[in-house]
Amino acid sequence: MANKPGTQARFVLFDVIYEDGSRRSNRKVPAELLGGLDGDLPARKEIEAQDNEIAKASGKSALPIASLQRAGGKKR
């Protein structure tokens, strides 16, 4: 049976671990950026772009991302 219009997820949530050990949960990434041959790689680029905008607004440098996984996903 087909999904009803408007029931598809518009965002995918990711948990981000930074190199300093800090963690940010439930970072939103538009669902249309994901999938295909690149898998979740575009999510890293999108979150890095978000971090750069936050860093520019706060005057602090952005932290490098150590790992990234979908929120609620199993750890590998």
Q: What is the pLDDT of residue 42?
A: 92
Domain that holds residue 25: 12-38
Nearest to 75 by CA among 10, 23, 9, 11: 23
Q: How many structural domains comprise the chain?
A: 1
Question: Does residue 21 sit within a domain?
Answer: yes
Q: What is the pLDDT of residues 27-49, one digit of tens each?
A: 999 999 988 888 889 999 999 99
Q: pTM for the whole thing? A: 0.78
Question: Does residue 72 sit within a domain?
Answer: no
Question: Does residue 32 sit within a domain?
Answer: yes
- β strands within 1-76, DSSP E: 11-18, 23-30, 65-70
